[in-house]
Each structure stands twice: as structure tokens, then as C-alpha cells.
């Protein structure tokens, strides 16, 4: 029956809005995260070898080259972390608002703060800090960590995700004032502290909450490369060949130019790209995925904790007097003795619901 004059016609029932398709979980990126964490630890084992020979082959050829190799073969790990961070912010899980970025930042900052206290206390107990603990603690607030040297990464990671996240939110029409304020502090911090030192004559700490151009490029290019279709199986071997060639160039650079090779090196970038393409899109069997997920969750905590363990147990393993067989056996044993407990302890405090505090 038609509606009477002036009476609006009934509207057809509105169709429920379609939910966006759920993004498939990237287990290949989980695999990269786990390999990155293990590679950083093994690379630091190589650093212990280099420290034992004072970075000179004259003090122990076998230990020197073992250290150079371990540091070189793992040189891609930190750049890959930046690449994965870029993919996560720009593509994998873009922030919905400033609150999302705040939570992600605190997920890094809180464990870094707690582990800094732990490393400073452990160093003071063992009398290895080298400077008054109070001075080191003040420096750590502003971004100069010495007892826990590996935590420098997070002082670059947090500003980087804030910048990339702010761009995403601005493009979406949001106004993330808190994030913008934090970026202003990051940008002005070095100059402001320097000016305070000039005016007052104080010995001010350096401001380390910064990211380099190279880390931004790794993040953006990494997001692009990780979003490409999966590498075809028949092409993976060629990327592995490229990785071997890049590794040879890094070994040459570390020995002939300087150790440690910068993350911004074109050789490191080439190795990182080759590893990325070799692993990207690899299919993880379903039976392995639960274990991989647990290892992925534990990776951050293992990364934060491992230096404390490594520095405590390394001396009996590493000696400049070892020959080739002894050096290889020693670094293999030390790597296992560091990687396995680091992941095991991280899994333990994850089960105890302490991931928020310990990473």
C-alpha cells in the first residue's frame, strides 16, 4: 500500500557494514624476529672474542677471525629490527590513535627502565660500572647506557615509531597532540641540553633519544619489502647466494676498514635485504606455529637480559690463546649457554605475567 501524501516511504533495512577482512598473521615475520634475537646474542658473543684480543689479529688470529665472523654474519639483525618496526607501524598494525602509540612506547620504555636499574645494580655489585652509579643512572635517563650498551636500540626505536605513527594518524585526519609534543622534545633535546651546559657550566649528559637517517630508511624500505608478495621458492637460493657475497664484503670491511661496521653500510644493507627476501613468505607448518609464537613473545625479554648473563659467564669460555678448533667450540658453547637460558627465563616471566615489566 503506497504511503499517504507527506508520509515518508519506509526505507529498506540497512545492510550491516562489512567488517574489514582480518589480516593474516605473518609467521614469516615472527620467524625473522626470533632469528634476529638469536643473532644479536651470537653477535655479542663475537664481540667478547674481539675484546679478548683487543680487536687485533696479532693478539690471537683464531679468536680474532672467529669474532669478526660472528659479528659479520649477524650484522643484519638490528637493521632488520628497524625494518620490522616500520612494517608493523605502517602496514601490519597501524595505530588507531595517540593512545595506541603511547602504549607501544611504554611497552619498550618500562622494561628498558627496569633493566637499566638491574644492570646498574649488577655492575655496582661486581664493581664493573667504571663510574659512580648515580652518574650512570642520570646518563641513562637521557639515553646513554653503558652497562647495558645493547639497550641503545630502544632509544632509537621509540622516537622512530612515534614519528611514523604520527604520520599515519595525521593522514587519517587525527590530531595526536601528545605524540607531536614528544617529537618536539626529541628534536629539541640535544640542543637544549647543550645550551644548559654552556650557560651553567654543568657536565650535562648527552641526549640519546634519537634515530638516525639510516634507521628511518630501513623502517620505510623494510615496510615496502615486507609487504611484497612472498619470495618464490626457486628464487630463495639466489638471495642466499647474495647473502654470502654480502657477508664476504662485510668481513673484508670489518678487517680492513674498521670494526664494528656501521648499520648504515651499503654492505650491511645488502645483507639485510638478502636475508629478508630469503625468509619473506616462507610457510611455517601449523604444528610449529605455537612454539614459534612463544619464542617470538620471549624474544624481547631475551634481548634485554642476555648481556647480563653473557658478561657474567664469558671469561671461562673466551681466551686469546685458543686455536681454531678451541675458538669454534668455545663460541658455540657460550652461544648456547647464553641463548637458551635467556629465552627460557623470558618465557618464565611471561608465564608469571611480568612481560609488561621485563619485556
Q: What is the DSSP string of 169-184?
A: HHHTT---HHHHHHHH
Closest C-alpha to 260, from 251, 249, 269: 251
Q: How many CB atoms lie within 10 A of CB 308?
A: 17
Question: Which residues, in sequence order, are CB contacts of 260 under 8 Å at separation 6+?
Answer: 47, 71, 254
**Any idea what DSSP says for residue 146?**
S
What's residue 275's pLDDT? 98
Question: What residue numbers bound the domain in which 181 lies?
Answer: 27-352
DSSP states along 197-237: HHHH---PPP------HHHHHHHHHHHHHHTSPPPPHHHHH
Residue 248: inside a domain, yes or no?
yes
50 part of a folded domain: yes
Check whether the bond before 260 is cis (ω within 30° of 0).
yes
d(CA 225, CA 85): 13
Q: Alpha-carbon distance 27 to 92, whole Å? A: 12
Nearest to 78 by CA among 16, 139, 153: 153
101-140: pLDDT as tens digits: 999 999 999 999 999 999 999 999 998 888 899 999 999 9
Q: How many domains does the chain have?
A: 1
Distance of CA 3 to the CA centre of its chain: 66
Q: What is the pLDDT of residue 146?
A: 77
Place of cell 647466494: 241
Mean pLDDT of 140-144: 86
Residue 130 in any domain: the answer is: yes
Cα angle at 287 between 282 and 288, to 5 degrees? Answer: 55
Given a cut of 60, is residue 151 above it in pLDDT? yes
In the block, cell 633535546 appears at 189
Q: Is the pLDDT of residue 201 over 90?
A: no
Stretch 186-209: mean pLDDT, rounded?
91
- Residue 260, domain member (yes or no): yes
pLDDT at residue number 22? 60
In which band, very low, low, confident or very high, does the pLDDT at 7 lie, cut at 50, 70 and 90? very low
Residue 57 has what DSSP assignment? G
What pTM, to 2 d.p., does this model score?
A: 0.91
pLDDT in tens, 293-347: 999 999 999 999 999 999 999 999 999 999 999 999 999 999 999 999 999 999 9
**Selection from 254, 303, 248 nearest residue 271 by Cα:** 248
Residue 105, in any domain of the structure: yes
Q: How far apart are CA 235 and CA 287, in angstroms?
A: 26
pLDDT digits (tens, 9 = 90+) for 209-252: 999 999 999 999 999 999 999 999 999 999 999 999 999 999 99
Rounded CA separation 247/251 (Å): 6
Position 18 in a domain: no
Q: Are 220 and 90 in contact (CB under 8 A)?
A: yes
Whether residue 114 is contained in a domain is answered as yes
180: nearest Cα among 101, 68, 268, 67: 101
Does 210 map to a domain? yes
pLDDT at 33 over 80: yes
* Cis before 11 (ω within 30): no
Residue found under cell 624476529: 33
pLDDT at 27 over 70: yes
CA distance 75 to 263: 7
Map grid coordinates 638491574 to a residue: 118
Q: What does pLDDT average to over the chain?
A: 92
17 φ, ψ (degrees, to nearest 5) = -60, 135
Amino acid at each position: 500500500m503506497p504511503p499517504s501524501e507527506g508520509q515518508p516511504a519506509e526505507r529498506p533495512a540497512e545492510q550491516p557494514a562489512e567488517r574489514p577482512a582480518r589480516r593474516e598473521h605473518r609467521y614469516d615475520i615472527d620467524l625473522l624476529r626470533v632469528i634476529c634475537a638469536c643473532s644479536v646474542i651470537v653477535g655479542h658473543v663475537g664481540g667478547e672474542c674481539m675484546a679478548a684480543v683487543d680487536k687485533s689479529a696479532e693478539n690471537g688470529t683464531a679468536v680474532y677471525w672467529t669474532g669478526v665472523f660472528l659479528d659479520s654474519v649477524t650484522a643484519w639483525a638490528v637493521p632488520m629490527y628497524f625494518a620490522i618496526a616500520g612494517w608493523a607501524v605502517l602496514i601490519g598494525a597501524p595505530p588507531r590513535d595517540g593512545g595506541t602509540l603511547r602504549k607501544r612506547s611504554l611497552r619498550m620504555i618500562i622494561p628498558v627502565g627496569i633493566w637499566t636499574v638491574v644492570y646498574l645494580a649488577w655492575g655496582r655489585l661486581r664493581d664493573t660500572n667504571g663510574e659512580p652509579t648515580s652518574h650512570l643512572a642520570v646518563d641513562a635517563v637521557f639515553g646513554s647506557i653503558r652497562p647495558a650498551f645493547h639497550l641503545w636500540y630502544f632509544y632509537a626505536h621509540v622516537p622512530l615509531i612515534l614519528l611514523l605513527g604520527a604520520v599515519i594518524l595525521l593522514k587519517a585526519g587525527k590530531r595526536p597532540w601528545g605524540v607531536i609534543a614528544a617529537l618536539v622534545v626529541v628534536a629539541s633535546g640535544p640542543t637544549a641540553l647543550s645550551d644548559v651546559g654552556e650557560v651553567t657550566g654543568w657536565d650535562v649528559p648527552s641526549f640519546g633519544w634519537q634515530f638516525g637517517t639510516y634507521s628511518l630508511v630501513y623502517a620505510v624500505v623494510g615496510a615496502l619489502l615486507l609487504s611484497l608478495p612472498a619470495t618464490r621458492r626457486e628464487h630463495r637460493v639466489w638471495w642466499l647466494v647474495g647473502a654470502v657475497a654480502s657477508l664476504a664484503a662485510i668481513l673484508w670491511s670489518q678487517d680492513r676498514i674498521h670494526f664494528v661496521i656501521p648499520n648504515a653500510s651499503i654492505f650491511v644493507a645488502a645483507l639485510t635485504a638478502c636475508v629478508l627476501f630469503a625468509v619473506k613468505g616462507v610457510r611455517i607448518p601449523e604444528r610449529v606455529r605455537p612454539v614459534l609464537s612463544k619464542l617470538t613473545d620471549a624474544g624481547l625479554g631475551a634481548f634485554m637480559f642476555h648481556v647480563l648473563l653473557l658478561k657474567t659467564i664469558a671469561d671461562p669460555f673466551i681466551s686469546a690463546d685458543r686455536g681454531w678448533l678451541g675458538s669454534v667450540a668455545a663460541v658455540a658453547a657460550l652461544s648456547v649457554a647464553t641463548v637458551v637460558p635467556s629465552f627460557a627465563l623470558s618465557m618464565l616471566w611471561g608465564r608469571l605475567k611480568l612481560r609488561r615489566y621485563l619485556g
